Amino acid sequence: MADLVKIVAIEARLRNCKNVVTLGVRPNYADYSDYEKRLIQNAPKIYYPSAFYADLFDAMGKKTFPSYHTYKCVQDKIKQTALFDLLSIPHPFTRVFFGNRKYKTISHYFKFPFIGKIPRGSALGRGVYLITNEEELMQYCQETHVAYIQEFLPVDRDMRIVIIGRQVALAYWREAPPGEFRTNIAIGGRVSLDPVPQDAIDLALFTARKCRWDDVGIDIIQHHNSYYVLEANMKYGKAGFRAAGIDYIKLIEQMIENGEI
């Protein structure tokens, strides 16, 4: 059975890693071959188990990377905000509103301008709106059943701090393109490798440790000499790694070999 003890991944994220066998996500466990099932059973740890299998492996006592805690908040801004509040992690003032007349309640808590986001499933800067008046607010509320509203802290760049395992793999700035309040690379933001303040790095490490996340890109802004966590991205992009000259796949291969993840 020794030949069945291999480094096994479910999701495709590590498919190019030479030291990893990637099986793919199959919601019907019966669809895995007998050989693949034995690989899963014998692997001491499953890498990138998928949101479907992460808590199932945890329930059976199988270690995973990322941790199943990391999967709990994937692309769910509502859960992330609640967790930040529970753990007293600095975060822009944010509230969630429900109901057909939620736009009337929002004005009791926020003054224009403020940010409205699609709270679940949005990424790459999509589903994020700067709302400056009543008409824009009503348009936003028509797009989502749940309104996720956040105070607007004007900045022209933010920090993306990627934590893999227990260490910072990369920290960089994302600069907004002209005329844009969002810094996402997918909409024209630019990577800057200017040094990231140690206070921001410490906040990212603190956040990851308290939330029990071990593979995450944490976005932080500096506003009036204070640091705020905007959100966590468990499906972070690789543009920062490319700009820094880091081969992400080789990095992960080495971290697996070294037992760091």
How do residues 108-152 score in pLDDT, each as one tens digit? Answer: 999 999 999 999 866 655 789 999 999 999 999 998 999 999 999
In a domain, 86, yes or no: no
**Does 168 share its domain with 242?**
yes
Torsion, Cα 52 57 59 63, to 10 degrees, reads -130
Residue 79 scores a pLDDT above 80: yes
**Does 186 share its domain with 239?**
yes
**Does 163 share its domain with 253?**
yes
Last residue of a domain, one of 20, 45, 65: 65
Our count of domains for the chain comes to: 3
**Residues 94, 231, 52, 2: is their CA dihedral positive or negative?**
negative
**What tokens were used for 188?**
């024209």
Last residue of a domain, one of 151, 170, 186: 151
CATH code of the domain in which 203 resides: 3.30.470.20
**Does 173 share its domain with 229?**
yes
**Does 147 share its domain with 199?**
no
Q: Rounded mean pLDDT of 4-32?
A: 94
In a domain, 78, yes or no: no
What's the Cα-to-Cα distance from 141 to each of 104, 106, 144, 181, 221, rounded to whole Å? 10, 10, 6, 20, 26
pLDDT of residue 123: 60
pLDDT of residue 13: 95
**Does 59 share its domain with 121?**
no
What's the domain range around 16? 2-65
Torsion, Cα 208 82 77 249, to 10 degrees, reads 10
pLDDT of residue 64: 98
Residue 1 scores a pLDDT above 50: no
**Does 182 share its domain with 217?**
yes
d(CA 190, CA 101): 38
Site of tokens 């034995």: 38
In a domain, 71, yes or no: no
**Does 118 share its domain with 166?**
no
In a domain, 35, yes or no: yes
What's the Cα-to-Cα distance from 58 to each of 49, 55, 69, 231, 233, rounded to whole Å? 10, 5, 10, 25, 21
d(CA 204, CA 198): 10
**Does 137 share its domain with 162?**
no
